[in-house]
Structure 1
Amino acid sequence: MATPPRASRPSMGHADCARTVPGRAAEDPDSGRRRGRIGLRARITARQGGGRRGVAPNACIDTLAITTIGPVHHPCGPTRRASETFGRPAVPKRSHPCAIGAARPRDHPVIDTAPTPTTVTAPPPRMGRSAWGRIAICIVLALPAVALAVDEHWRIGGFAPDPLVDLLVFGGAVVAASFLLAWAAEAAQQDISGALAIAILALIAVLPEYAVDLYYAFRSGSDPAYEQFAAANMTGSNRLLLGFGWPLVVIISLLVARRYVRAGSLPASATKVLQLEQSSRLDIGFLALLAVVAFLIPLMGSIPLWFGFVLLAAFVVYLWRASKVSDDDGDDEEMVGTAGNIASMPQRARRWTIVALFVVAAAVILSSAEPFADALVESGSALGIDSYFLVQWLAPLATEAPEFIVAALFALRGMGGAAIGTLIASKVNQWSLLVGSLPIAHVLGGGTTGGLPLDGRQVEEFVLTASQTVLGVAIIIALRFHRWSAIALVALFAVQFVVTDTSGRWVLSIVHLVLAVVVAWVHRRDIVPTLRAPFRRQAV
C-alpha cells in the first residue's frame, strides 16, 4: 500500500514568527533513535529603535523558551539547533523577508543609516605654466625670422642680407616651428582618427624637412646647380635617421631598462635587447620593399616622374594598411611632455590650441624654408665649407631634431618599442613620400618631364643610403634590436665622415650589404612573415 504523501507545510510570512511552532520528531544525530515530539515555542522579537545588547535594531531574534537537543525549524530561517540560535540573531538569507534585497512588510520599516555619497566634480585640467613657457620660447625664436622674411620680401627696413645671420635666424625658426608641429600633431591624435587624419598628420609632421628638400627640387627645375642639393638633403636625412636616431633610442631604452631589472619587473635580457611591438612588422615589411626598390634609382640614373607617382601610391597604401592595424594591448599610447599637457586640456580649449599651433608653425616654416635653404648654400662659400656637406647634414639635423627629442622622451619613459616604431614609420615616409615628391616638384619648377636627374656623386649617395636601409631592416626583421647592432650602426655611420672618396663609399656600401646578408640569414625565419605583412588581409 502506497504511503500517502506528507502534506507540505504552508509557507509562513514574517508575521507568523510570533506564533507557536509545533515541535517535530527529530533524529538524534548521535544514536539515530527517534525522539518524541517536543513542544517548542519560539517568538520573534522585532524591536524598532532598540534591542538587546549586541543585536542590531530591526533584526530577527530567535528567542527559545525551551532548550532542546533537537533541531529547531524556524519558519523564517534555516534549521538550527537550539544551542546555536539561543539569544543570537539569525543570519538572514535571500529567502528571508528581512534579507537584503527582499521586500519588507509594513511592520518592518527600513532605516537607512548609510551616509549619502557626495559627488565632487573635479575642476577641468589645465596646461601647466612650463608647457606654455616652452611654446612661448618657440614663438619668440621664430619671430625674428618672420620679421626678416617680411623685410626681405617687401624691403621695409632695408636690412642687408647676410648668409651667416640668415642661417642662424631662419635655422632657429625652423627648429622652433618643428617643435610646435611635433607637439600639435601628437596631441591632435586625441581628437582625430582614421586614415584621412593619419595622412594629414603625416604631411604636417614632416613639413619642416620636406619644405627644405622640395624647395631644392623645385629650384632645380630652373637652376640645374640645385639638382645635387635636392638629393643631398634627402640622403642625409635618411642616413641620419637610421644611423643616429635608431641607435640613440635603443641605447636610451636599454639604459632605462636597468632600473626595471633591478626592481625585478623585467628580466636581465631587457638590458641587452629592445623588443619591438608586433604592429611594427607592417612598417618593417614596407621598408624592406622600399629599400629593394630604391636600388632602381641609381640604376636608372634619375628619379623619373612615373616612379615618383609609384612611390606616392605606395605611401597611400601604407597609410591605408597602417590605419587597419590595432595596438597590441588595445590601449592608447601615453603622451608625454608638452603634447601630453595639451592633450589633457578640455576639448574645446585643446582643439583651439592645436589649430593655433598648426597655423603658427606652418606660417613660420613656409616663410623660412626658402631663405634657410639659400643660406645653407651661401654660408658654405662664406665659411669655406662644402655647401653640399651643409645641405646634406646641417639641414636634416635642424629639421629632425624635434623628432629625435620626442622619441628620446618616449624611451626615457620606458616606451622604447613605441619610440623606435615612430622612427621606423618616419623612414617609410622618407623613402615613399619624400622621394616620390622630388620629381614632381622638379617638374613644377620648370624641369623636364623625364624627372630629377642624378650625377655620379648622387648615384653613390643613393646606393649608400639604400644599402644602409637594407642593413637596418635585416637587424630589426625579428622584432628585436640588440645593443651591439645599435653600436654597429653608429660606427658605420661615423665611418662615412672619414671615407669621403668615391671608391671608399662603394666599399662601405658593399660592407652594409654583406652584413645585411649575414644578419638576414640568422633571422631567416622572419623574412617571409615580414614581406607578407603589407599584403595580409588581416591586420597585424
Structure 2
Amino acid sequence: MVLFRSLSLCGALAAPALVLRLTGAEVVPWLALLLFGAAVVAASFLLAWAAEAAQVDISGGLAIALLALIAVLPEYVVDLYFAHTAGQNPEFVAYAAANMTGSNRLLLGLGWSTVVLVSLAVASRRSGRTVGELVLDPGHRTELGFLAIASVVAFVVPVSGQITLVFGLALLGFFGFYLWKVSRAEAEEPDLVGPASIIGALPPRTRRPLVAALFAFAAVVILLCAEPFAHALIDTGTQLGVDRFLLVQWLAPLASEAPEFIVAILFALRGNGSAAIGTLISSKVNQWTLLVGSLPLAYLIGGGSGTLVLDPRQIEEFLLTATQTLLGVSALLALRFPRWAAWTLLALFAAQFALPGQEARYALCAVYGAVAVAALVRNRRHIVPTFLAPFRRSAEPAQELTRV
C-alpha cells in the first residue's frame, strides 16, 4: 500500500505536464514552469527508487551509471538541440557551448559542494559529533579514474579551439568503455530504505519488470518535460529582463540539471553520501564524454561541417570548466571529500558571477589550477592508481549506496 501511494503520487504530479506536452496547449510561463518542474521532481524520485532497487540484480556501479545517464537526459536534449540548430544557424554554436559549460560548472561547483555539505550535516547530526569529510567507497576509484582521464583530455578543446568529429567519436567510444567496465562488477546486497526497500523485496519476476518500467517512465517524463521546463524558465527570466546568453548558460542548465540534483540530495538526506557524490561523478563522466562527443555529431546532422569551431569567449569558458574539473578530481584522489574542498569549490563557483570579464575568467583558471596542483601534491600517491583504475583487469569492490 505504501509503495502504491508513493508511485500514484509521482504519477499524479507528472500527469498534468504530460497532458500539457502531448496536447500542445499553451499556458503562461510561470504555470508551465510549475507544472513541468513538478513532473521533473516526480521523475527524480522514481529514478532514485529504481536505481537503489536495481542494485539487487545488477552492480551498484552500473545502477549509478544508468541513473546518471537518465538524470542528465534534460541537459542532452537542450544542448544537442542547440548543436543541431547550429548546423543551419552558426550563432547557436555559442549557445551549445554556453549550455554545456554552464551545466558542467553548475554540476561540480554547486552540485558537488551542496551534496557534500548536506551529507556531512546529516552525518554530524546522527553521530553527535562534527564530521569533517565524506569518505567514498573504494569502488568509486574506477569511475573517478575515468573522470580523471576525461578531465585531462578536456584541455584539447580550449587548446585547439574546436571540437572535431574524430575527437567526438573517440569520446563516445570512451564512454562505451566506461559503461562496459562498471557493468562487470558483481551485484551485492544493498542497504535499501523506503519505497526502494519494498521494491527490492519483491520476487524477481515482479521486481525486475517494475524497476525497468520505473526507469522507462522516468526517462519518458524527463524527455518530454525537460525542454518545455527549460523554455518556461527562460521565458520567465526574459520577462524579468535577464540577459538571454546568461539564461542559456545558467538558468536553462539549472532546469536541465534538476533531476540529478534532486536524486543526489535525496541520497544525501538519507545518509547515502557516497552514492550521492558517486551519482554526480558519473554525471561528470557523462558530460565530458557522451555529451561533448555528441555535439559535433549533432552539428553534422543539422547541416554543419562536423567540426564545432569556438570563438575566444567559448574557449575561455571551456578552459575555466576544464580547470574546475581538474580541481574536483584532484581533491577526490584519496576518495575523501573534505569540508574545505566543498567550500572552496562553492566559493570559486560564486566568484565567477562577482568577477565577470575575460581577465577575471583567466584569473579564476589560474586559481583553480593552483589549488588543483596543491591537491595533486597532497594526494600524489593516489594519482597513478586512479589513472590506471579503468584499465585494471580485476575491478575493485562494487560500489554500494552506503552511508557516510
TM-score by length of 2: 0.86
Distance 1:419 1:362 in 2: 19
Cα 1:218–1:369 change in 2 (3 A) is: farther
Aligned residue among 413, 432, 456 for 2:312 = 456
Residue 538 of structure 1 and its aligned partner are, at CA, apart by: 2.8
Is 1:339 equivalent to 2:199 in the alignment?
Answer: no
The residue number in structure 1 matching 2:378 is: 522
Deviates more, 1:370-379 or 1:412-421: 370-379
Distance 2:278 2:223 in 1: 28
Which aligned pairs between 1:74-473 and structure 2 lie closer than 5 A? Answer: 128-129=1-2, 131-152=3-24, 159=25, 162-192=28-58, 203-259=69-125, 261-262=127-128, 271-325=131-185, 331-450=188-307, 452-473=308-329
State the secondary structure of the residue aligned to 2:189: coil
The residue number in structure 1 matching 2:347 is: 491
Is 1:534 equivalent to 2:394 in the alignment?
Answer: no
Distance 1:297 1:197 in 2: 30
Indicate the structure whose relative CO is greater, using CA pairs within 8 Å and at least 6 residues apart: 2
Show CA shifts across 1:230-257 (max 9, x none). Answer: 2222222221221122222322332333
The residue number in structure 2 matching 1:25 is: none
Distance 1:314 1:407 in 2: 24
The residue number in structure 1 matching 2:401 is: none
- Which residue type is aligned with residue 302 of structure 1? Q
- Which residue type is aligned with residue 182 of structure 2? A
Deviates more, 1:196-205 or 1:427-436: 196-205
8 Å contact kept, 2:230–2:255: no
The residue number in structure 1 matching 2:402 is: none
Show CA shifts across 1:378-404 (max 9, x none). Answer: 444433112222233333333333433
Residue 516 of structure 1 and its aligned partner are, at CA, apart by: 0.7
Is 1:475 equivalent to 2:347 in the alignment?
Answer: no
Distance 1:249 1:150 in 2: 34
State the secondary structure of the residue aligned to 1:446: coil
Distance 2:274 2:63 in 1: 23
Distance 1:427 1:474 in 2: 14
Cα 1:388–1:134 change in 2 (3 A) is: farther
- Greater helix share, 1 or 2? 2
State the secondary structure of the residue aligned to 1:496: helix
Distance 1:352 1:324 in 2: 22
8 Å contact kept, 1:178–1:399: no
Deviates more, 1:441-450 or 1:202-211: 202-211
Cα 1:405–1:338 change in 2 (3 A) is: farther
Distance 2:273 2:68 in 1: 21
Distance 1:405 1:371 in 2: 19
Distance 1:169 1:415 in 2: 29
Residue 174 of structure 1 and its aligned partner are, at CA, apart by: 3.5
> Structure 2: which 5+ runs fail to align?
397-404
The residue number in structure 1 matching 2:400 is: none
- Which residue type is aligned with residue 139 of structure 1? G
8 Å contact kept, 2:165–2:297: yes
TM-score by length of 1: 0.66
8 Å contact kept, 1:185–1:205: no
Distance 1:412 1:162 in 2: 34
8 Å contact kept, 1:227–1:454: yes
8 Å contact kept, 2:40–2:225: yes
Query: Which entry has the higher C-alpha Rg, 1 or 2?
Result: 1
- Which residue type is aligned with residue 254 of structure 2? L
Deviates more, 1:438-447 or 1:374-383: 374-383
8 Å contact kept, 1:312–1:432: yes
8 Å contact kept, 2:115–2:265: yes
Show CA shifts across 1:343-386 (max 9, x none). Answer: 23343443443344344333333333443444455444433112
- Which residue type is aligned with residue 368 of structure 2? H
Deviates more, 1:283-292 or 1:346-355: 346-355
- Which residue type is aligned with residue 138 of structure 1? C
Query: Over aligned residues, Cα RMSD in angstroms?
Result: 2.9
Cα 1:394–1:387 change in 2 (3 A) is: same
> Structure 1: which 5+ runs fail to align?
1-127, 153-158, 263-267
- Which residue type is aligned with residue 311 of structure 1? L
- Which residue type is aligned with residue 319 of structure 1? L
Which aligned pairs between 1:504-523 and structure 2 lie closer than 5 A? Answer: 504-523=360-379
Cα 1:203–1:522 change in 2 (3 A) is: closer
- Which residue type is aligned with residue 390 of structure 1? L
Residue 296 of structure 1 and its aligned partner are, at CA, apart by: 0.9
8 Å contact kept, 1:216–1:229: yes
8 Å contact kept, 2:101–2:317: yes
Deviates more, 1:229-238 or 1:430-439: 229-238
State the secondary structure of the residue aligned to 1:224: coil
